[in-house]
Structure 1
Amino acid sequence: MQNNIIENEETKIWLEEYKNASSNKTKKQLKNLIAHFYLPLVKKIAYGLARRQSDPVEDIVQVGCLGLMKAIEQYDGNFETSFKTYATHRITGEIRHYLRDKISIIRAPRELLELSFRMNSIAERLKIKLGRQPTELEIADELQMSISRINEAIEVDRRKQTISLDQIMNISESDQYTLVERLVDDKYEDQQNFQEDRIMLMEAVELLSENLRQVVKMSFFQDLNQVEIAEKIGISQMQVSRRIKKATEELFRIITNQER
């Protein structure tokens, strides 16, 4: 798998600029830029953890991307560990948590799964009757179950709530998107924000020279690795690598200059 991860010193500078950026536009552009170059790390971890799983590896990669985004948001330059090490921990943790939840649902006793279904039905009925969300105690009394048993059913239900990564989500009759698209940033309000961020980055890319713009578009938006890009445009992989490095330096300069 082609490694496009930027060097550690560059990462520190980019993360510092991301933390200090006062405009949302600059923060989002830098976040997307950093995330793109750490995508190979996400894929490496995802492929390693997916070997014995039935889930499509693409789904696990998307979950890993969520961990990467959290790492970018929460990393502090004062941490003793490098960003790559910190991101590896967050990505791995996010994927393992996702897989553990799925396994827990599969292994949950049938009676607990049935109780979860009954609990939701009772909770909905009590909500209408009481005009508010019922408490766990009220649900337990209605079902004549102990609080501890209800809590077990609630945990199973929480895990069942995991939305399929490919499930279509609707904003309006004309706008639809999948969770795969939304995982790039779990704080997006709607699909419009997702598209705006992409446009912001594209605006910066358009300011690059033609040869740099070409490799960035293939790498960023077509998800081609350096070998594939080299074959397409007829240059060596080393030349592609140099162009991508130069392009990222230019993009960083363009984005950070917008802040000043």
Structure 2
Amino acid sequence: MLSREEKDKEAILKYLPLVKSIAYRIYKHLPDAVDLNDLIGYGILAVVEALPKLDESKNPEAYLRLRIKGAMYDYLRSLDFGSKSLRKREREIKAKLEELTNQLGREPTDEELIKALGYKPDEFYSDLQKISASYLLSLDDLFREGRSYEEVVSSSVEENPEEKVIKQDLREKILKAIEDLDHREKLVLQLIFYEEIPAKEVAKLLKVSTARVSQIKESALSKLREKLKDMV
């Protein structure tokens, strides 16, 4: 018979691919300063803490997915991507972007924007990544379900008619909120979050600056949050 420690190790190995999968998807949208191994570590801790409540007969992945993502996002919040200094730099980048666009009669390149701001390239791209991460965390707050394990497994295994209607209604509202975004906002979200194309590559595809892609993404996420805040 396996000891508790051996069972925990066995469970960690079983769910490690799930932890890594979630970590990789989140990591793609984060600043370089964030360590992927830290995300994975917090995900593993979430699995360990959840093990006493797991019931393998009731689709435990639904519960673990929430716990793992929650632990990773809580860790990212501790890094304070929403600091006042970062918001100040965000306003500076947006203002300079609009100023140069008006002066040049076109979108400025990243190099032109960086020079006008007096930033170092690494600082500029790092700031854009941090700003992007702060909006992702803000949107995640909206969808943090905070449900108990019993509620999660019961809804994931068998939903009553009322729950199905509520879930379908929410899905339709989310799709409507996305549909109400303008064409470029929908395109940027699709390329970054569904196609998982880096922001720099999206900028090349759309022939705009990386800062503009970041601005479009932030605008789209802010609109979604505003439209959905009374729905969930």
What's the TM-score once normalised by structure 2's chain length?
0.34
Q: Which has the higher helix share?
A: 2
Of structures 1 and 2, the larger Rg is shown by 1
What's the TM-score once normalised by structure 1's chain length?
0.31
